[in-house]
Amino acid sequence: MSELLRVENLRVSYHTYAGEAQAVRGVSFTADEGGTLAVVGESGCGKSVTARAIMGLIPVPPGEIKEDSHIWYEGKDILTFSKKEWQAFRGAECSIIFQDALASLNPTMKIGKQIAETVLLHHETDKMQAWREAEGMLGKVGISDPEKRMHQYPHEFSGGMRQRVMIAIALACGPRIVIADEPTTALDVTIQADIIELLKKLQSERHMTVILITHDLGIVADMADKIVVMYAGEVMEEGTDTDLFYHAKHPYTEALLKAVPRLDMGVQELAPIEGTPPDIVHPPEGCPFYERCSHAMRLCGYRRPPAYEFGEGHRARCWLYHPLAERGGE
């Protein structure tokens, strides 16, 4: 698969009363055309801030995208886009599905109008045609009787149906990249599975690139072909789904895997990750996972680990893989 989007050394801070919160600290990864990249980590690890940076949605101030941060798309650094270029990019090239459909939809506007407005924003068409396209889109995301549903308001839809509407809005202009930011978190488990299935189906039909942002490794297993694990604003490990699920190298990835049930592992005892992530206003000098890591060595506390390679595209940032470390070469 060829590369479509490259995030390179992305650093994003928020200026707060407590000081500069360094939400994203030197994050790099690539998303391939037609593939699914999952960005995984606990709440506050910087994954949603990364998604918002890709969409040009970091409010400045209080946010700040630091110098030497780049996001490459079609040979252009989108972080240098003008307002007009961002408008053309959002929706038509890249769109986002947020977690909270109820908060994202306008409660006073008919669903049909909300989808049709997105179509009108990016396609040269008239209102009638945009309405028809919106109705078609509503059917494609699995909402029955779309003709009638177009005239209803968000409160007349269930949580799962509202999330389907969000997907219809995100896909209305045929973007090449769709960012799904915790798309199923607010839903119950069976509806979550339906939404993931729908995303997978639409992705294969439309050959879209999906960037799935989630705290839940469980939903990633079925969908992602590449996974980036983030912690305290940094990438800890990246690799294919097989690399991460069967050959995880980083203690944080291992801890995440132990915290989710797995169908392929028989009966297991789930282990929550003890402790809390570090303060991002005063991030640690050494490994950010130091305080919670059961393998921590003295060096980890004061020196930031480099990224070690374990095969094409599989990297982990951990001192255990230094040739002189006890667990090196494992």
Closest CA to 167 of 155, 156, 153, 181: 181
Give counts: helices (H), strands (E), the chain. 11, 13
Can residue 320 be called a binding residue for ligand SF4 (CB under 6 A)? Answer: yes
Can residue 166 be called a binding residue for ligand SF4 (CB under 6 A)? Answer: no
Can residue 251 be called a binding residue for ligand SF4 (CB under 6 A)? Answer: yes
User: What is the distance between the alpha carbons of residues 84 and 71, in angstroms, rounded to a whole number?
Assistant: 17
Q: Which stretch binds ligand SF4 (CB under 6 A): 120-128, 191-199, 268-276, 283-291?
A: 283-291
**Closest approach of ligand SF4 to the CB of residue 219, in Å:** 24
Report the residue number, 29 or 289, with the smaller CB distance to ligand SF4.
Answer: 289
The tally of CA atoms less than 13 A away on the side-chain side of residue 142 is 16
Q: Is 121 helix (H, G, I), strand (E, B) or coil?
A: helix
Q: Is 296 helix (H, G, I), strand (E, B) or coil?
A: coil
Can residue 31 be called a binding residue for ligand SF4 (CB under 6 A)? Answer: no
**Closest approach of ligand SF4 to the CB of residue 49, in Å:** 22
Q: Which stretch binds ligand SF4 (CB under 6 A): 37-45, 209-217, 221-229, 285-293?
A: 285-293
Can residue 293 be called a binding residue for ligand SF4 (CB under 6 A)? Answer: yes
Contact with ligand SF4 (CB under 6 A) among 10, 78, 165, 318: 318
Q: How many residues does the chain have?
A: 330
Contact with ligand SF4 (CB under 6 A) among 22, 166, 287, 314: 287
**Distances, alpha carbon 118 to alpha carbons 12, 40, 83, 197, in Å:** 29, 29, 17, 24
Report the residue number, 2 or 294, with the smaller CB distance to ligand SF4.
Answer: 294
**Closest approach of ligand SF4 to the CB of residue 299, in Å:** 7
How many other CB atoms are there within 10 angstroms of residue 312's CB atom? 9
User: What is the distance between the alpha carbons of residues 192 and 292, in angstroms, rounded to a whole number?
Assistant: 30
Beta-carbon contacts of 92 under 8 Å, excluding residues fewer than 6 positions away, are: 122, 173, 174, 175
Closest CA to 209 of 180, 188, 186, 232: 180
Report the residue number, 183 or 288, with the smaller CB distance to ligand SF4.
Answer: 288
Report the residue number, 89 or 290, with the smaller CB distance to ligand SF4.
Answer: 290
**Closest approach of ligand SF4 to the CB of residue 321, in Å:** 8
Q: Which residue has the tokens 């990364």?
A: 50
Can residue 258 be called a binding residue for ligand SF4 (CB under 6 A)? Answer: no
Applying CB under 6 A, the residues found at the interface with ligand SF4 are 251, 287, 289-290, 293, 295-297, 300, 305, 318-320
